[in-house]
Structure 1
């Protein structure tokens, strides 16, 4: 569909790669460090000219003056679970694809879980959202996350989740980096772009990005590394150089 292709080309540059800044944490974690002053952080990040940002619908609607024409907007449309929830993977649809389109989004982001109580419901959501995205020409970004923390960077889990997301209709998949020796298995599991959201603890974010890109990843979708940086604008600029050269 033409609309989906046009929007995907706003998310990915001509080199087929992208720098995405995730700033959707407030829905789950509240006013954590780095995003307490939303407008200030948005201004700093947008000044660095990232390719896209993941935001919740309320932030998009109330800050259009800072975003319009400056960055591709990806609207998170699942959530409904905070840090206080007893079910980490209890995510539900919080707004529609149509609403995301109406507030200027170039894509929608949904969460998919593997290996927990929330797996079945989250995968059903991805499938149903993919159908709506196909009708409306909206790219679907699926963030696939193992429920158990000891599997967060497990290549078996990540490769499975990535393939499941593709099979259900995702146009781009966001996952954790599993390591230089194993991430190829993840990338070979799908013919759509894969971006990394982070990776093994203690590993430098830029080193992870360089390794993942070398293997064939199409970019990064970093959150805390960016908005909790001492200089948010400079951090984005450094990511752009790392990803796009």
Structure 2
């Protein structure tokens, strides 16, 4: 589809790789340090030259002037739960693909969960969103996670979830980095781009990004590492050197 291809080419540069900064945490975690003042955060990070930002629809609608012509926009369309929810199970649809398109999205992103009580509903949601995205020519990014924390970093579970999302229509996957010994298995399980969302807490994020790229990842989609950095603009520039260098 030409619409999807055009929009994906805004997110993934000529080398087929991308630096994405995730700034969608406020919907479920509130005003974290680094994103308490969104206009200020956006100015700093956009100045670093990221290829795309992940944002909730309200932020795009209210601060489009800080984004237009400067970076691609990936709109989060699932959520509906905060850290205070007593019954978190999976993310629900919070806005439509059509609305995301109307406010300027180059892609949409949804959460996908396996290995938990929300699995069936989560996979069903991915399938329906993929259908809507096909009709609109809008790429679908799925952030795939095992819901069971005991298997949160298990490459077997992650690759199963990744494959499920791919089979249901995802165009790009965002997954947890599992390390040198196993990440290639995840990348090889699908024929679409994979970007990393983060990884082991004891590993330097730049080292992690470099390893992931060497193992076949097509980029990064980092959040706290960027917006809580001492100099977010500089941090984005360093990530770009690693990913595109």
TM-score interval (norm. to shorter): over 0.9
CA distance in 2, matches of 1:207, 1:88: 33
Structure-1 residue corresponding to 2:47: 47
Equivalences for 1:2-21 in 2 at 5 Å? 2-21=2-21
Aligned residues: 245
1:169 aligns with 2:177: no
Equivalences for 1:39-118 in 2 at 5 Å? 39-118=39-118
Equivalences for 1:25-40 in 2 at 5 Å? 25-40=25-40
> What per-residue deviation string (whole Å, max 9, x for no partner) do you get for residues 181-228 of structure 1?
000110110010000000112111111111110011000000000000
Q: Which SS does the other structure have where 1:19 is aligned? A: strand
CA distance in 2, matches of 1:137, 1:62: 24
For residue 75 of structure 1, report the CA deviation from its aligned partner.
Answer: 0.2
Q: Which SS does the other structure have where 2:125 is aligned? A: helix
RMSD of aligned C-alpha atoms?
0.7
Q: Which SS does the other structure have where 1:174 is aligned? A: strand
CA distance in 2, matches of 1:212, 1:91: 27
For residue 119 of structure 1, report the CA deviation from its aligned partner.
Answer: 1.1
TM-score, scaled relative to structure 1: 0.99
Structure-1 residue corresponding to 2:135: 135
CA distance in 2, matches of 1:46, 1:87: 36
> What per-residue deviation string (whole Å, max 9, x for no partner) do you get for residues 131-161 of structure 1?
0000000000000011122322110011011
Structure-2 residue corresponding to 1:240: 240
1:225 aligns with 2:208: no
Long gaps (5+) in structure 2: none
Contact 1:109 1:141 in 2 (8 A): yes
CA distance in 1, matches of 2:157, 2:90: 19
Contact 1:175 1:197 in 2 (8 A): yes
CA distance in 2, matches of 1:229, 1:114: 31
Contact 1:80 1:90 in 2 (8 A): no
Q: Which SS does the other structure have where 2:190 is aligned? A: coil
Q: Which SS does the other structure have where 1:70 is aligned? A: coil
Contact 1:91 1:111 in 2 (8 A): yes
> What per-residue deviation string (whole Å, max 9, x for no partner) do you get for residues 19-55 of structure 1?
0000000000010111000000000000001000000
CA distance in 1, matches of 2:196, 2:110: 15
Q: Which SS does the other structure have where 2:198 is aligned? A: coil
Q: Which SS does the other structure have where 1:197 is aligned? A: strand
Contact 1:77 1:95 in 2 (8 A): yes
Structure-2 residue corresponding to 1:187: 187
